[in-house]
Amino acid sequence: MQSIQIVRAGQDAAAGASLDTPRYIRMHANDNVAIVVNDGGLKAGAVFADGLTLLGAVPQGHKVALSDVRQGEPVTRYNVTIGYAACDIAAGSWVSEANLRMPDALELSGLPIATRAAPVMEPLEGYTFEGYRNADGSVGTRNILAITTTVQCVSGVVDHAVRRIKETLLPLYPNVDDVVGLEHSYGCGVAIEAPGADIPIRTLRNISQNPNFGGQAMVVSLGCEKLQPARLFPKGSIPILNGREPATVCLQDAGHVGFMSMIDSIVATADEQLKVLNARRRETCSAADLVVGVQCGGSDAFSGVTANPAVGYATDLLVRAGATVMFSEVTEVRDGIDQLTSRAADPEVAAAMIREMEWYDAYLKRGGVDRSANTTPGNKAGGLSNIVEKAMGSIVKSGSSAISGVLSPGEKLGARRGLIYAATPASDFICGTLQVAAGMNIHVFTTGRGTPYGLAPVPVIKVATRNDLARRWHDLMDVNAGRIASGEATIEDVGWELFRLMLDVASGRQTWAEHWKLHNALTLFNPAPVT
Ligand code: CA
């Protein structure tokens, strides 16, 4: 991966220039475009300190040509070709989707395999947090009772029961943080024997074992659904952390007469689980016990300049501390797969990465689209012209360590440690759900356009890419990486701030999403047919 070098026109803003002075950021000395930094963008005639003059207005975050680019020549950002000029582009022009032709996806054969030695990084020792250690060695950052459901049919009943548990039981168990119904739209009306059905089923099975749930599992089933409890947790091979069978309540059991019988049964079962969870205590754990899932959503052109590089710096700190970091989002790494296969720790890891890309290419093709279906109207308004440019900014979240393992969607981390590629869709909720299944205990989420995203099972730390977003959403964003663009902080500063905040949050400090109880629905990835 290229090292990120922020080149500002003229004097650094921090060195006294006004924030109104026209400024751009170039990501690499070889780039022939740069993005406009100024809030509100710049008007035609704006002159940068190096003499470059804008020929037309350019919005904030959008690209300006630094030199003349002839039709057909590459347009380069991050030292990568993000497109080809669709017409002659004069220096000082706005470069956007309108005058760029997107490159084809990279071939998945002939890629560089484990060719790049990881930079030598000194181990980082002595960093700890206060977590809940589980019997299997995993560590929770929260103490939550999860109620697994086998099918959407039971959701209304489980919601009702959860409300009652929170009102009547939770106050009796002060060491338990929350009660969460693991509700989803899967379980029936699906082709459960289809090969792709493995993914939603193992996802749900593994979510139920997230370290924050302390190895206690209880299940609410309807009775007639395709996803029977025995299929979700097969007998004898139940990987429940404490080795106990999950307690199950079946709503169609003949013993239930009336709605309140079902509710009483769920509440009584929850009471038994809460007694066990309430005995958990935080203890000092090494930073190596963190399992951090990183992703981005509502990205803009600053994502790859401020927030994601700061996350990448923090990722390197975590790996140095022995922790595990998962990065994901297949369509947002597909155009940089050569960077990733070259960083694989060994050929098996590279082969697994290629296998995941091939699977996803085929999945998209079945739906009649390709990776270009990823970008949103908001991405484009934020300056990202296409998926190639977006991917280059997304990959930097992975830092610079060697990639030591690969997870397929819904798989559990198991014994894997270090920097892991967890293959998931880029969809925020699906990616987050799959990272919960993999076993993350802290989630870091960067956003440029702004999203109030949060998850009930795992604390989410949100990082803003721009000062303007951080100012307006001051009680939703936990970290402001926009200070990197304005010259008030460096990537290293924000990376360390994020690393320290992760340890605090892992120890119990609330994020804004937790403060407001903002919880997006768990969304299972089901590539198989519904019936
Ligand atoms: Ca995402």
Which domain CATH number covers 270? 3.40.50.2300
How far apart CA 79 and CA 392 sit, in angstroms, is 10
Question: 237 or 172, which is more confident?
Answer: 172
What separation in Å is there between the alpha carbon of 283 and the centre of ligand 1? 32
Distance 219 CA to ligand 1 centre (A): 29
CB of 488 within 8 A of CB of 14?
yes
* Residue 15 pLDDT level (bands cut at 50, 70, 90): very low
Q: How far is the CA of 66 from the centre of ligand 1 (A)?
A: 31
Q: Ligand 1 centre and the CA of 182: distance in Å?
A: 21
pLDDT band at 118 (very low <50, low <70, confident <90, very high): confident
Q: What's the per-residue H, E or C state across 139-159?
A: EECCCEEEEEECCHHHHHHHH
Residue 526 has pLDDT above 80, yes or no: yes
- Cα 332 to averaged position of ligand 1 atoms, centre (Å): 9
Q: Tell whether 295 and 434 lie within a shared domain.
A: yes
The string of DSSP codes covering 21-68 is: S--EEESSTT-SEEEE-STT-B-TT-B-TTS-B-SS-B-TT-EEESS-
Q: What is the pLDDT of residue 61?
A: 93
Ligand 1 midpoint to CA 39 (Å)? 25
Report if residue 118 sits inside a domain.
no
Q: Are residues 407 and 327 in the same domain?
A: yes
Q: What is the model's pLDDT at position 235? A: 74
The set of residues, in sequence order, having a beta carbon less than 8 Å from that of 136 and lying 6+ positions away, is 215, 241
- Is 493 in the same domain as 357? yes
- Looking at 8-12, 133-137, 236-240, which range is the least confident one? 8-12
Shared domain check, 322 and 254: no
Contacts of residue 118, Cβ cutoff 8 Å, sequence gap at least 6: 343, 345, 400, 401, 402
So what's the pLDDT on residue 3?
44
The whole-number pLDDT of residue 479 equals: 98
What confidence score (pLDDT) does residue 19 get?
A: 67
Strands 63-65, 94-95: pairing kind: antiparallel
Could you tell me which residues come within 8 angstroms of residue 92 by beta carbon, excluding any fewer than 6 positions away?
A: 52, 53, 54, 55, 64, 65
Look at the block and give the residue holding tokens 């560089």: 112
pLDDT digits (tens, 9 = 90+) for 403-436: 999 999 999 999 999 999 999 999 999 999 999 9
Give the Å distance between the CA of 268 and the centre of ligand 1: 38
Instruction: Check pLDDT > 50 for residue 16.
Output: no
Whole-number Å distance, alpha carbon 12 to ligand 1 midpoint, is 32
Identify whether residues 83 and 192 lie together within a single domain: no
| Mean pLDDT, residues 498-512 taken together | 98
- Dist. CA 297 → ligand 1 center (Å): 4
Check whether 5 has a pLDDT greater than 80.
no
| Same domain as 183, residue 79 | no
Q: What is the pLDDT of residue 180?
A: 98
Boundary residue ending a domain (104, 121, 148):
104
Spacing, Cα 503 to ligand 1 middle (Å): 23
Domain stops at, among 59, 76, 104: 104
227, two tokens: 């996803």
Distance 398 CA to ligand 1 centre (A): 14
User: Residue 169 C-alpha to ligand 1 middle, in angstroms?
Assistant: 36
Q: What are phi and psi of 417, to 5 degrees?
A: -140, 165
pTM value surpassing 0.85: yes
The tens digit of pLDDT for each residue in 187-236 reads: 999 999 999 999 999 999 999 999 999 988 899 999 999 999 999 998 76
8 A C-beta contact, residue 245 and residue 218? no
Task: State pLDDT tens for residues 485-504.
Answer: 988 999 999 999 999 999 99
pLDDT band with cut points at 50, 70 and 90 for residue 10: very low
Does 130 fall in a domain? no
What mean pLDDT do residues 466-477 have?
A: 96
Q: How far is the CA of 43 from the centre of ligand 1 (A)?
A: 32
> CA triplet 136, 139, 145: central angle to 5 degrees?
90
**How far away, in angstroms, is 376 Cα from ligand 1 center?**
11
Residue 464 CA to ligand 1 centre (angstroms) = 14
Q: How far apart are CA 38 and CA 23, in angstroms?
A: 6
Residues 365 and 255 in one domain: no
Distance from residue 299's CA to the centre of ligand 1 (Å): 8
Per the domain annotation, does 213 fall within a domain?
Answer: yes
Domain edge (last residue) among 51, 80, 104: 104
243-264 exposure pattern, b = at least 16 Cβ within 10 A, e = fewer: eeebbbbbbeeeebeeeeebbe
> Looking at the predicted structure, is the pLDDT value of residue 241 above 60?
no
What are the beta bridge partners of residue 132?
140
- Are the beta carbons of 523 and 433 closer than 8 angstroms? yes
- Spatial separation of the C-alpha atoms in residues 456 and 339, rounded to whole Å: 34
Reduce the secondary structure of 170-188 to three states and give it as a string. Answer: HHHCCCCCEEEEECCCCCC
Per-residue pLDDT for 12 more than 50? no
Residues 6 or more apart whose CB falls under 8 angstroms from that of 269 comprise 218, 247, 249
CB atoms within 10 A of CB 279: 12
3-state secondary structure of 287: helix
CA of 426 to the centre of ligand 1 (A): 4
The 10s digit of each residue's pLDDT in 253-311 is 999 999 999 999 999 999 999 999 999 999 999 999 999 999 999 999 899 999 999 99
Does an H or E element contain 460, and which? strand 460-464
Ligand 1 midpoint to CA 505 (Å): 21
Question: Is 500 contained in some domain?
Answer: yes
**Helix, strand, coil percent content, the chain, rounded in steps of 5:** 35, 20, 50
Grouping H, G, I as helix, E, B as strand and the rest as coil, residue 106 is coil
For residue 90, being part of any structural domain is answered with yes
Instruction: State the average pLDDT for the chain.
Output: 93
For residue 295, report the distance from its CA to the centre of ligand 1, in Å. 5
Cα(93) to ligand 1 centroid in Å equals 31
Same domain, 88 and 47: yes
Domain-embedded: residue 127: no
Contact between residue 481 and residue 494 where contact means Cβ atoms under 8 Å apart: yes
How many domains are there within the chain? 3
Q: How far is the CA of 298 from the centre of ligand 1 (A)?
A: 8
- Same domain, yes or no: 257 and 295: no
Residues 497, 494: Cα–Cα separation, whole Å: 5
Within a domain: 54 = yes
Residue 135: inside a domain:
no
Domain containing 52: what range? 1-104
Give the Å distance between the CA of 294 and the centre of ligand 1: 9
Task: Tell me, in angstroms, the distance from the centre of ligand 1 to residue 52's CA.
Answer: 35
CA of 207 to the centre of ligand 1 (A): 19
pLDDT at site 8: 54
On whether both 248 and 314 belong to a single domain, the answer is no
Instruction: Assess whether 270 and 303 both reside in one domain.
Output: no
Output Rg (C-alpha) for the chain, integer angstroms. 24
| 329 C-alpha to ligand 1 centroid (Å) | 6
Q: Are residues 256 and 334 in the same domain?
A: no
CATH of the domain at 97: 2.30.130.110
Tell me the CA–centroid distance for residue 431 and ligand 1, in Å.
6
Question: What is the 84 CA–ligand 1 centroid distance (Å)?
Answer: 26
In the predicted model, what is the mean pLDDT of residues 25-32? 93
